[in-house]
Amino acid sequence: MKVVSKRIVKGLGYIKVRPEEDEDMWHLYNLIQEIMRVQNVSATGSSESHRVRTTLTLQVTRIAFTPPVTSTTGASDSTAPAPTEATASLQITGRVVEENDHVKMGAFHTLDIELIGIVSLERIEEASLPGRGAEVGAVVCGEGIAAFCLLSQHMTVVLQRIDVPVPRKRAGSATAHEKGLARFYDMLYQSFLRHIPYSNPTLRAIVIASPGWVRDAVFDYIMAQATQAGNKALLSVRQKFMRVHVNSPHVHSLVEVLKSPEVVAQLKETKFAREGIMLDNFFKMLASDEQRAWYGPDHVGLAVDRGAVGTLLISDELFRASNPEVRKRYVSLVEDVREKRGEVLIFSSMHESGQQLNQITGIAAILTFPLDIEVVEAEEREAREEEERLKVKTNEEA
């Protein structure tokens, strides 16, 4: 995302940005809240419609984000259908609050934001850092199935899924099985070339993950085909390839991938890897020492008040609550933890780790010292009761 211009004085002003990548649409989705000025080309006019450039001021009532997904399914023959290209999209619906020559006050409009456009400062600064982009390319596969993914700081994008029938290997006749595998490997290789930007310098690792030994067979096939075709660019990045065991050949296994020792060692300083490690640490703590692993907004809030939070894990989805007071509450929790020198990790709900966090309320904390929830809640109740008694006493004396 490119920052075109900005003017902020005492916390007020504007920032104009130009989305340049699919991930930028996700940032816009998280940045837009209630009212926003958007410059857009819309279709208006009489029976013979024409396009005009106009400025709309909307009170936003709904925002929908659609990630880029390209999907094809393998047929029984070896010909892979060409995937349909897709990019991220953002639709903003709202009521017009400033009338102009082309739209009436109160009319509802839905704006389709393309890779051009206007929009909390941290997210914009992070989104506009040079050199952003996909850091990991992943092929999660099993015998006959594969999913091709790109992982960046805030998104996991599934680019394509393939499914090729591979007959079971039968004693005395392995021909059908071998032909099925050959079709699968060929389709996988072609899809790999199409979707994984292996020569991009920002791509730090190429992970092939699978149960069993499929990952080794896939890697060997890719290297053999690259050698046969004289693909020097692919052969030169051989050291980027990592083969990882997972329990399932499906996309959700990426959580396992990011926790594997070899991937952790390679990507330990990246945002999404750090998130995966800390979420794993939280679940381990919850199983072994639950007085140091709290989750849920009320309980985490109590832990923050006690200054006990060492690491706060919070989903970006919580900052999109429809009630502004709820959003302010979560922002306040983040600021309180940082003021007390705790670590804050804001998980993207477009990553598998973020989706796991959302399943346990979207907020969790690893405490620096143990706290008994029942004791803390009892102390809070006693404090409230004492406060009520003091109020009653004051009123009686008055």
133 or 397, greater pLDDT: 397
Full strand arrangement of the beta sheet holding 156-163: 156-163, 145-151, 136-142, 205-210, 241-245
Is the CATH number 3.40.50.11810 carried by domain 136-268? no
Three-state DSSP at 165 gives coil
Is the CATH number 2.30.30.870 carried by domain 2-67+87-127? yes
Q: Which of 87-96, 133-142, 222-231, 250-259 has the lowest mean pLDDT?
A: 87-96
2-67+87-127 with 136-268: one CATH topology? no
Q: Indicate the pLDDT class of residue 153, thresholds 50, 70 and 90.
A: confident
Indicate whether 131 pLDDT > 50: no
What was the pLDDT predicted at 365? 97
CA torsion through residues 182, 185, 188, 189, sign: negative
pTM of the full predicted structure? 0.58
CB atoms within 10 A of CB 81: 11
Which CATH number is correct for 273-377, 3.40.50.1370, 3.30.1330.30, 3.60.10.10, 3.40.50.300? 3.30.1330.30
User: Could you tell me the residue ranges of all domains in the chain?
Assistant: 2-67+87-127, 136-268, 273-377
Closest by Cα among 241, 179, 253, 187 to 216? 241
The pLDDT tens digits for 366-382 are 999 999 988 888 888 88
The pLDDT tens digits for 192-247 are 999 999 988 888 899 999 999 999 999 999 999 999 999 999 999 999 999 999 99
What was the pLDDT predicted at 233? 94
Beta strands 145-151 and 12-18 are unpaired
Average pLDDT of the chain to the nearest whole number = 80
User: How many Å separate Cα 168 from the centre of its chain?
Assistant: 37
377 or 34, greater pLDDT: 377
